[in-house]
Each structure stands twice: as structure tokens, then as C-alpha cells.
Structure 1
Amino acid sequence: MKTLPLRLVPGADLRRELEAALAAHGVEAGFVLQGIGSLQPAVLRLAGAEATVSPAGSVELLTLAGSVGPGGSHLHASVSDAAGRVLGGHLGYGSVVHTTAEVLLALLPDWAFSREPDATTGYAELVVRQR
């Protein structure tokens, strides 16, 4: 495992930048160990929901964790608004860095992640293969 600390700048799509960082290092498997910062907008899909929600205004990114791979990522985030209300869910594309995002990405060069249909869950789920 190799760690890659990242600081993402305002205007960056958080999810796309993490996937791009993985690809730039020629790696097919990674995990976000932690992430903090601010987003505007934040795009989250809540548990059991099909549609996404976007809290109004700028939000603090309290936590970010999950898997990153070339076939898709599975990232969970918790954010808080100006009143301190916390909301969490799956991080979607279009979650844009407001002031900064500081993320620690673990690169796993000996492994490859893909997403394949799982008959049990009905979703494309993580498949882990050794390279």
C-alpha cells in the first residue's frame, strides 16, 4: 500500500478528482482513508433512496471514506450545514470543492477493483482481484 495525500482546490469535482488521481498513478484499486473540507454543492444519495439531495449553501465535509476504482467508486460522506445539522450518504458526482478538500488516498497497486452486477443485492458490487 502506498498513501497519497491530496489537497483539492476550489471548483474541483471531488469524486472525479479522486478517480483521476488513481488513474494518474496507474493503479486500479484504492481506498479513501479520510477526507475533510468544504463543498458547494454537496450531492448525496441517502440510504435506500434513488434520487440525490443537495443541502443548500456551503457545507463542511466532516468525513469521507470508501473505495475508488476505474469502474466506479463507492464513497460515503457526512456533511454539516451552517446550523450544525449533519447529513450523510453516498457521495455523488457534482460534489464540488468550495474552499478545500484534504484527502488521504491509499493506493493498492497489487489489486484491481471492478463493479459487477450482484444477483443478491441487485446492484453493481465491488469485485476484488489480485493483479
Structure 2
Amino acid sequence: MRAHPLRLQPGQDLRDALEETTRQLGSQAAFVVQGIGSLGVAQLRFAGIAQPTELRADLEILTLAGSIAPDGAHLHISVSDAAGRLYGGHVARGCIVRTTAEILLALLPDHAFSRETDPQTGFMELRIRARDA
């Protein structure tokens, strides 16, 4: 495992930036270990709902975790607003960094991830393989 700390800048799309960073690093398997920072816009897909919900406010990122494969990321986030209300769900495209996002990626050079339809769940799920040397 190789650790890769990362800081995202204001205006960056959280999901796009994480996927692009792992591509640029040549990683075929990565995990977001943790992330903190802030968002001005959050696009969260709540459990059991197909479309994301947009939140526009000054939001603090309390937790961020997930996996990143070359064909996409599966990320979960919890954010709080100025009143302390907590929201959490899947990270969709359109989560825009407000001031900063400080993230620790764990790159797994001996593995390759992909997303494939799981007949049991009907969803695109993580497939883990040993990476060819």
C-alpha cells in the first residue's frame, strides 16, 4: 500500500478530482481512507433513492471514505450544515469544494479493481483482482 495525501482546491468537483488523481497516478485500485474539508454544493444520493439530492450551503465534510476503480468510484460522505444538521450518503458528481478538501488515498499497486453487475444485488459492485506483475 502506498499512501497519497491530497488537497483539493475551491471549485473542484470532489468525485471527478479523486477519479482523475488515481488515473494520473496510474492506480488501478485505491481507497479513500478519510477526508475532511468543506463543500459549497453537495450532490448526495440517499439510501434507496435513485437520484441525488442537491444541498447548497456552507457544509463541513466530517467523513469521506470509499473505493476508486478505473471505471468509477464508490464514495460515502457525511456533511453538516451551519445548524449542525447531519447529512450522509453516496457522493455523486457535483460535490463542489468550498475552501479545501484534505484527503488520504491508499493506493494498492498489487490489486486491480473494477465494477461489475452483481446478479445478487443488481448493482455495479466492486470486483477485486490481483494485478498482473
- TM-score interval (norm. to shorter): over 0.9
Number of equivalenced pairs: 131
SS in 1 for 2:129: strand
In the TM superposition, structure 1's runs of 4+ consecutive aligned residues that sit over 6 Å from their partners are none
* 1:65 partner amino acid: A
SS in 1 for 2:3: strand
* 2:111 partner amino acid: W
* 1:63 partner amino acid: T
Higher alpha-carbon deviation: 22-31 or 48-57: 48-57
Q: Percent identity?
A: 57
**CA–CA distance in structure 1, aligned partners of residues 114 and 18 of structure 2:** 16
Residue 115 (1) aligns with residue 115 (2): yes
Counterpart of 2:53 in structure 1 is 53
Counterpart of 1:90 in structure 2 is 90
**CA–CA distance in structure 2, aligned partners of residues 58 and 93 of structure 1:** 18
Higher strand share: 2
Q: Which runs of 5+ in 1 are unaligned?
A: none
Counterpart of 1:128 in structure 2 is 128
**CA–CA distance in structure 2, aligned partners of residues 55 and 83 of structure 1:** 14
Aligned counterparts, 1:35-74, within 5 A: 35-74=35-74
SS in 1 for 2:21: helix
Q: Which runs of 5+ in 2 are unaligned?
A: none
Aligned counterparts, 1:14-29, within 5 A: 14-29=14-29
**CA–CA distance in structure 1, aligned partners of residues 80 and 2 of structure 2:** 30
Counterpart of 2:11 in structure 1 is 11
TM-score (norm 2): 0.96
1:29-55 alpha-carbon deviations (Å, 9 max, x no partner): 000000000011011000111111122
Counterpart of 1:103 in structure 2 is 103
* 2:70 partner amino acid: P
* 1:113 partner amino acid: F
Query: What's the RMSD between the two structures over aligned residues?
Result: 0.7
Q: How far apart are residue 56 of structure 1 and its match?
A: 2.9
